[in-house]
Amino acid sequence: MGKNKLFNFLIIFFGLMFIVNTAKTENLTSDDKKILVKNLVNEAAELIETKGQAGVDAIADKNGKFNTKDAYVFVTSESGADLINPAFEDIEGLPLEAYTDTDAKAAQIAIVDAVKDKDTAWIEYLWPKPGETKPSKKICYLKKIVVNGKIRIVGAGFYPEGQ
């Protein structure tokens, strides 16, 4: 009888944990969102560093854990060209010179500049929410890594409430 109660408790516990972890982040504070985003970026960066192309493929998967409704991981080159951006695939591979939207171009420049002299950074810039075209304030965590001798910038962010 004791084993059945423990088993039922574990089923309920893990079910509740799943619900909590998959709930929208809109009720979280900015500090909570920063922790979630930083952890997501660090995990993605480690995956790329250890798994190579398999890690890149996992991050690019639109249905994977690195691309949720509330946050998505992107990977940018040191030139500002997005190599992976599951929420905005149309800009993947575009050189910085191809950006005609001044907010988007400024964001790409800010991303590259933020990690020129350091390995991680928090920045704010204007970027549309997925599925939208109007720019909104975005707070983003960035981590610079080196893969096969090339600098890559792994990032993810969130859009603060009321923006």
What does each of the 163 residues of the chain score in pLDDT, given as a tens digit? Answer: 565 554 444 444 433 343 344 344 457 788 999 999 999 999 999 999 999 889 999 999 989 999 987 789 999 999 989 899 999 999 999 988 888 889 999 999 999 999 999 999 999 999 999 989 899 999 999 999 998 899 999 999 999 875 4
Per-residue pLDDT, 20 = 42
Assess if residue 147 is contained within a domain. Answer: yes
Beta carbons within 10 angstroms of residue 64's beta carbon: 14
Assess if residue 113 is contained within a domain. Answer: yes
Assess if residue 81 is contained within a domain. Answer: yes
Assess if residue 96 is contained within a domain. Answer: yes
Assess if residue 12 is contained within a domain. Answer: no
Say how far apart CA 163 and CA 154 lie, in whole Å: 24
Assess if residue 4 is contained within a domain. Answer: no
Assess if residue 35 is contained within a domain. Answer: no
Assess if residue 160 is contained within a domain. Answer: yes
Domain that holds residue 134: 51-163
Per-residue pLDDT, 26 = 56
Measured CA distances, 110 to 27, 50, 104, 141 (Å): 28, 27, 10, 12
Per-residue pLDDT, 73 = 97
Per-residue pLDDT, 2 = 61
* Total structural domains within the chain: 1
Please report, for the domain that includes residue 100, its CATH number: 3.30.450.20
